[in-house]
Amino acid sequence: MTATRLTVSHLGAQGDGVAPAPGLPKPVYVPGGVPGDTVVVDDKGKVLDLIPGPNRAEAVCLHFGLCGGCTLQHVAPELYHGWLTDRILMALQQHDITLAPDAIVAPHVSPPQTRRRATFRAVRRGKQVELGFNVERAHTLVDLSECHVLSPALFGLLPALRGLLAKELTDGHAASIAVTLTEAGVDLTLGGLKRKGLAQDELLTRFAEENDLARLSIDTGLGVDVIIERRAPIIRFGGVAVRLPVGAFLQATPDGEAALQAAVIESVGKAKDVADLFAGLGTFALPLSAKARVLASDAGKVSLEALQRAANEAQRPVRIEHRDLFRRPFTALELKRFQAVVIDPPRAGAQAQCAEIAKSAVPVVVAVSCNPNTFARDARLLIDGGYRLERLWPVGQFLWSAHVELVARFTRG
pLDDT along the chain (413 residues), means of 10: 89 93 90 96 91 95 91 96 96 96 97 97 93 79 96 97 95 95 98 93 98 97 94 98 96 98 98 98 98 98 98 98 98 98 97 98 98 98 98 97 97 89
CATH of domain 117-234: 2.40.50.1070
- Distance of alpha carbon 264 from alpha carbon 317, whole angstroms: 18
Q: For residue 138, what pLDDT is reported?
A: 66
Cβ atoms of 239 and 265 within 8 Å: the answer is no
Supply the DSSP string of 84-126, one letter for each residue: HHHHHHHHHHTTT----GGGBPPPEEPPTT-B-EEEEEEEEET
168 Cβ contact list (under 8 Å, min separation 6): 175, 190, 193, 200, 203
254 Cβ contact list (under 8 Å, min separation 6): 114, 116
196 Cβ contact list (under 8 Å, min separation 6): none
- Distance of alpha carbon 230 from alpha carbon 3, whole angstroms: 65
Q: How far apart are the first and last CA of the chain?
A: 58
Interior CA angle at 296 toward 292 and 301, to 5°?
155
**Hey, where are the domains in the chain?**
1-56, 81-111+250-412, 117-234
- Calculate helix-pair angle for 198-210, 158-168, nearest 10 degrees: 170
Residue of 31, 34, 29 lying closest to 19 (CA atoms): 29
Residue of 162, 141, 269 lying closest to 207 (CA atoms): 162
Q: For residue 137, what pLDDT is reported?
A: 64
370 is catalytic: yes
Cβ atoms of 84 and 404 within 8 Å: the answer is yes
Instruction: With H, G, I as helix, E, B as strand and everything else as coil, classify residue 41.
Output: strand
CATH of domain 81-111+250-412: 3.40.50.150
**Domain 1-56 CATH assignment equals 2.40.50.140:** yes
Per CATH, 1-56 and 81-111+250-412 having the same topology is answered no
Catalytic-role residue among 61, 70, 354, 370: 370
Residue of 136, 161, 120 lying closest to 67 (CA atoms): 136
- Calculate helix-pair angle for 351-358, 372-384, nearest 10 degrees: 20
Q: For residue 68, what pLDDT is reported?
A: 83
- Distance of alpha carbon 181 from alpha carbon 157, whole angstroms: 11
